[in-house]
Amino acid sequence: MAQNKHWDGFKSLLFMIWVLWIPMLFTLPFLAIGLILKGIRLTKAGNRFIYHSVNIWSNYIYRSAGGKLEVVGLENVPKNESICFISNHQGLFDILILIAAIPIRVGFVAKKSLMNLPFFAQWMMAIGCVFIDRKNLKNARKSINKGVESIKRGNSLIIFPEGTRSRGPKLGDFRKGSLKLALKSDATIIPVSINGTYRLFEESNCIHGGPMKIVIHKPIRPEDLTQERKVHLMEEIRDMVASGLVE
């Protein structure tokens, strides 16, 4: 039994190296092309190139892990709007899976420690991720303001208000202040429910395939938010996310 666990762990390590890090290494030239296009003021073309490159290897990685993804509610994602997606967070692969599932270029509000991951960090910065140091309130405020400006420029971001992976089907508490970025930027808010992504790794601490489902809920637009509704908005969004969980 112990030997099986060691073998599963070894296979997971090989997967991380061969399917996750090596493809990212070989996609760096595509990242360079996208940045060059942006550098010569072909910003839209550069962003499209980066988005399609990220989307291709995101699909490749989760499928190589054995994941089978179903996406519901794609019609709820408007075009040409700045959006804050508010999602639960079950597993290690959630970022890649959401990039594959959401049909527009989107960045993430992520913890600062992810900046230390080689290759992955470069891609995250390219798609407009905002890194927050939760241990430093002053820097965290600066990061939120940076995110607000990014959204006002037409970019979209995903927020995980639980703050960390649940590692299972249970929905955790949403942190106070998670909606500051969305409300300050007057972005359209779209709740998202993630189902089953923890099966790819967290369920057994080894790479395993399994069914996954992403539910994209109807948008909440800033013009529909009365002051009273804003007071209870966190609970409303959490209830919407919970309604899309099937386990």
CATH number at residue 105: 3.40.1130.10
Is 149 domain-assigned?
yes
Is 44 domain-assigned?
no
Q: What is the pTM of this model?
A: 0.87
Is 119 domain-assigned?
yes
Tens digits of residue pLDDT in 59-70: 888 888 888 999
Domain total for the chain? 1
Q: Which residues contact 144 (CB under 8 A, 6 or more apart)?
A: 130, 132, 180, 181, 184
CA dihedral 97, 100, 106, 110 (to 10 degrees): 20
Is 8 domain-assigned?
no
Tens digits of residue pLDDT in 162-217: 988 999 999 999 987 889 899 999 999 999 999 999 998 888 777 778 899 999 99
Is 115 domain-assigned?
yes
**Six-digit token pair at 148?**
């607000």
Is 185 domain-assigned?
yes
Can you give the residue range of the structural domain that contains 227?
Answer: 69-243
Is 40 domain-assigned?
no
Is 11 domain-assigned?
no
Task: Tell me the pLDDT of the chain averaged across its residues.
Answer: 86
